Each structure stands twice: as C-alpha cells, then as structure tokens.
Amino acid sequence: MQQSGTPAPVARYSVLGKLFHWGFVVIFAYGIYKQVDNISQLADGALLRFEVIFAALFLILLGARFFYMTRTQSSALSENTHALQKLGAKVVHYGMYVSMGLIAASGLIIGALYTLFGPEGVLISLAVFIHETSVTASYWLIGLHIAAALYHRFLHDGVWSAMVPIWRE
C-alpha cells in the first residue's frame, strides 16, 4: 500500500518501446539532415527513388510504432495527474504521429506529382504546403515534448526515467 503524499510508481516502457522512441529520434534527425532543399533536386532519379523508399519505410515504421505503443504501452503519467496535463500529453503525442505521417505521405505525393506532372502546378504546390506545414508543426510538437520531459525530470515524478536512459532520477 502506498503512503499518501508519495507519487505512484511510474510505468516503465519496454525495450521495444524505448527502441521505437529513440530509433525515431535518429530516423527523423536523418530525414531532416538529408532533406530535399529544392523541388528541382527531384530531377535526379536516384534521389527521387531514395526519397520515395525512405518515406514509405518511415510510414511503415511509424504505423508499426503507433500500433505497438498504443496496444502494449501505457502512459508514464500517474493516475493523479491533472486531466488537462493528460490531455496535453495526448494531443502532443498524437499530433507528432499525425505531423510525421503527413510529412512522409505528402513527400510521397510530391514525388508522384513531380514524376507525373513536373515541378509546377496547383496540386504539387498544395502538397509542398502540407509538407512544409507538417515539418513546422512537428518541430513545435517535438519542442513541447522535450520541454514536458524536462519538466518531469525536475519534478522527479519518474516520467523522465520511464523512457530516458541517461541523467536518471
């Protein structure tokens, strides 16, 4: 039985859950590093193929991660966490899935439209807008996620240590 005033034990994420989390940090960082700076670069067939394969694999891994994490892992937030904080965590997490999925999906659409119609047109402009907006949204959401993780690290409530292998509480 738990004494009043002490935090509830925090759920630990599985090794696969941690691998998915930190693996996506690496994959996303690589995607940002290798990003196409100008749509005209897609004229290089090898680059276009690489981008299509990378985006398709990213979507598959993102879907696998979403399926695994939502079916097998629970939040590290304690049951007595305020409802608004729990809602904020869900919005940020699902928002990251949506924005990252839209980055890859819109990238695939850009590749298809570029192949079919070239670099000009309303459809490709719309796809590029969605792609760029999703990238910006992902940066903001990742920033919020990191800020929340640091907040929990300084709270010493166990949330940080549930996922982060360094600077343990």
Which amino acid would we find at residue 106?
S
Both tokens of 13, joined, read 């994420």
Sequence-distant (≥ 6) Cβ neighbours of residue 10 within 8 angstroms: 76, 78, 157, 158, 159, 161, 162
Both tokens of 138, joined, read 């992902």
What pLDDT is attached to residue 63?
98
Which amino acid would we find at residue 76?
A
For residues 50 and 56, give the distance between their C-alpha atoms in angstroms, rounded to a whole number.
Answer: 10
Q: What angle do CA 83, 87, 91 make, to 5 degrees?
A: 175
What pLDDT is attached to residue 9?
52
pLDDT in tens, the chain (169 residues): 334 444 545 568 999 999 999 999 999 999 999 999 999 999 999 999 999 999 999 999 999 999 999 999 999 998 899 999 999 999 999 999 999 999 999 999 999 999 999 999 999 999 999 999 999 999 999 999 999 999 999 998 999 999 988 887 7
What pLDDT is attached to residue 2?
39
Q: Which of 133, 154, 165 is nearest to 19 (CA)?
A: 165
Both tokens of 54, joined, read 């990378």
Domain ranges of the chain: 15-73+82-163
Q: Backbone phi, then psi, for 42, in 5-degree steps?
A: -70, -10
- What is the tally of helices (H) and strands (E) in the chain? 5, 0
For residues 8 and 12, give the distance between their C-alpha atoms in angstroms, rounded to a whole number.
Answer: 12
User: Which H helix or E strand runs over 4?
Assistant: none
pTM to 2 decimals? 0.89
Q: Are 48 and 114 in contact (CB under 8 A)?
A: yes
**CA atoms within 13 A of residue 154's CA, in its CB half-sphere:** 5
